Structure 1
Amino acid sequence: MDEAARAPMDGQVDAAFRPVRTGNAFEETVERLLQAIKLGVVAHGERLPAERELAARLGVSRETLREALRSLQQAGYVESRRGRYGGTFVTYRPPAPDVGELRRAAEDLGAELEDALAYRLVLETGAAELAARRELTAEQREYLLRRLHDADSAGPGEYRQCDSRFHLAIGELTGSPSLAASIADARMRLNDLLNAIPMLGRNIDHASEQHHAVVRAILAGDPAGARRTTEEHLEATATLLRAFLA
């Protein structure tokens, strides 16, 4: 897959690059950018939105944005390229799965782990149900199928980010920007844990089967089926996570 040729859908960009709300503009701008990069909304090799557009989306000054981008460039997440096809490009790649890192990430979350899993479960099952209740356009249906295909065809190094894009796409299809943003936040809380889970072939195959079941239910307009299959999928991920932490 040509990473540079791909472009995230506007809805995922909107969810990740929503306006900064606190008085800590620099810190929250860095947080928003990192969320978009780590979740794969803007993946390795892709270009961030133009500076003027990005500053407007985030509701910050261009100087604050430039300072945040410089910090991320120094940390190795992005690079600046000049010329006609220049801009700021993502250089970050997710770390290789590692059980030791998984346990360290779980320790960082501590008692919040079960809260994060429960929060994600409620948000994503509700989103799948709501998406199934809507009259989706042909473009929206094709978009969901494209995200499903991306996850199915992703290699080990791309899989988690493509999986994130798939789950975020369902949030977008609800038509609720607030819900889509909340799903992105919930996913980000668990992102280091999910990235650190070892890639097991049977588990990836099972996840793919569950993804397909969720998509079938949404496209068939089956809200109960969409909720049930999403819950089964998320519970399977949580079970695998707990097994590696035991």
Structure 2
Amino acid sequence: MSRDGTSRPADRLAAVLRPVRAGNGFEEALEQILQVVRLGLVPGGERLPAERELAERLGVSRVTLREVLKVLQEQGLVEARRGRYGGTFVLRRADGGGQDELRRRIASVDIEDVLRFREVLEVGAAGLCASHGLDEGQASRLRAALDRTRDAPLGEYRRLDTLLHLTLAELCGSPSLTARYAAVRATVNDLLDCIPLLVRNLEHSQRQHAALVEAVLDGDADGARETMREHCAGTAALLRGFLA
């Protein structure tokens, strides 16, 4: 935690990066780093943690990790840079919306299943945070995540929105819920990338975010759950309208 109460990158990555199982080390490591990229936990143009740190956090060898990073490079998601300030950098993603890209992304996605599972996890996390209560440090993290979404540049809004929701999932106290939320949110982000950013919708979402955080900090579990349910329903309506 930094002095201003915001999460450092390492804190955010903890929601996704965890030791993999021995039998599927390569596949699970690839899945987790893909989630880091798709969730925007490391923004485009910034560097992933050093290979040594990533390998330790994932519990894989550096040989395995390099194979994973090679796949990400081949997919155009990261690039390796040499030199004193080198490393593996996340490439900036082009805007979604093209018809070919849209069809590719949603071809195998059951949109209704994704949206329902997301709602269950988000509503549950909001209720748990409110009913169990947050300590001073946790409350500060949540407020800081909300503050970063205010007046965010349009191109950064979805990434910062993701971090707010992921922070809430982390604070609910269930690592299993957090891991599953990170996975489903990555899929939701792929879907969101296929539809336009609507300023009116973002303004509405921001009001819901503020009400949600207020309910959580006030210990109003029913209010937090209902606000989150409405928030998820708004996103679902947009996705169904554009993609269903």
TM-score (norm: length of structure 2): 0.88
> How far apart, in 2, do the equivalents of 1:20 and 1:145 lie?
32
8 Å contact kept, 2:122–2:228:
yes
Aligned to 1:8: 9
Match of 1:223 in 2: 221
Alpha-carbon contact 1:132-1:218 (below 8 Å) kept: yes
Where 2:155 maps in the other structure, the secondary structure is: coil
Deviates more, 1:228-237 or 1:84-93: 84-93
Question: In the alignment, which residue of structure 2 is the partner of 1:211?
Answer: 209
Residue 234 (1) aligns with residue 235 (2): no
Partner of 1:80: 80
Whether 1:127 and 2:144 are equivalent positions in the alignment is: no
Query: Aligned partners of 1:76, 1:97: CA distance in 2, in Å?
Result: 15
Aligned pairs for 1:38-187 (under 5 A) are 38-93=38-93, 95-98=94-97, 100=99, 101-102=101-102, 104-109=104-109, 112-187=110-185
Matching of residue 200 in structure 1 with residue 205 in structure 2: no
Partner Cα distance (1:57, 1:63) in 2: 14
| Cα 1:233/1:9, change in 2 over 3 Å | farther
Report the more deviating stretch, 224-233 or 183-192.
Answer: 183-192
Which stretch shifts more, 140-149 or 228-237?
140-149
8 Å contact 1:17–1:33 — kept in the other structure? yes
Query: What is the number of residues matched between the two proteins?
Result: 237
State the one-letter code of the partner of 1:75.
Answer: Q
Give the Cα separation in 2 of the matches to 1:47 and 1:139: 27
Distance (whole Å) between structure 1 residues aligned to residue 188 and residue 80 of structure 2: 29
d(CA) in 1 for partners of 2:17 and 2:199? 34
- Write the distance in 1 (CA, Å) between the matches of 2:80 and 2:104: 32
CA distance in 1, matches of 2:61, 2:169: 29
> Once structures 1 and 2 are overlaid, which stretch shifts more, 59-68 or 22-31?
22-31
Structure 1 position 52, deviation (Å): 2.0
Alpha-carbon offset, residue 133 of structure 1: 1.9
Normalising by structure 1, report the TM-score: 0.87
Q: Equivalents in 2 of 1:197, 1:208: separation in Å?
A: 18
Aligned residue for 1:96, secondary structure, equals coil
After alignment, is 37-46 or 202-211 more displaced?
Answer: 37-46
Alpha-carbon contact 2:26-2:64 (below 8 Å) kept: yes
- What is the alpha-carbon distance in structure 1 between the residues aligned to residue 223 and residue 103 of structure 2? 34
> Which amino acid is the alignment partner of residue 162 of structure 2?
S
Report deviation, 1:195.
Answer: 1.6
- The residue matched to 1:16 in structure 2 has which SS? coil
How far does the alpha carbon of each residue in 1:179-201 deviate from its partner, in whole angstroms, 9 at most, with x for none?
11111011122221112221111
1:29 matched to which residue of 2? 29
Residues 69, 198 of structure 1: CA spacing in aligned structure 2 closer, same or farther, 3 A cutoff?
Answer: same
Q: In the superposition, relative to structure 1, how do residues 99 and 210 fare at CA in structure 2: closer, same or farther (>3 Å)?
A: farther
Counterparts of 1:104 and 1:200 in 2: how far apart (Å)? 23
Instruction: Give 1:71 shift.
Output: 2.5
Decide which moves more: 187-196 or 75-84: 75-84
Deviates more, 1:231-240 or 1:36-45: 36-45
RMSD over aligned Cα atoms: 2.1
CA contact (8 A) 1:16 1:41 kept: no
Report the alpha carbon displacement of residue 118 of structure 1 after superposing the two structures with TM.
0.8
Q: Is the partner of 2:89 in helix, strand or coil?
A: strand
Deviation at 1:34, TM superposition (A): 1.1
SS of residue in 1 equivalent to 2:213: helix
In 1, Cα distance between equivalents of 2:198 and 2:96: 10
Q: Secondary structure at the match of 1:88?
A: strand
Q: Percent identity?
A: 53
Deviates more, 1:54-63 or 1:129-138: 129-138
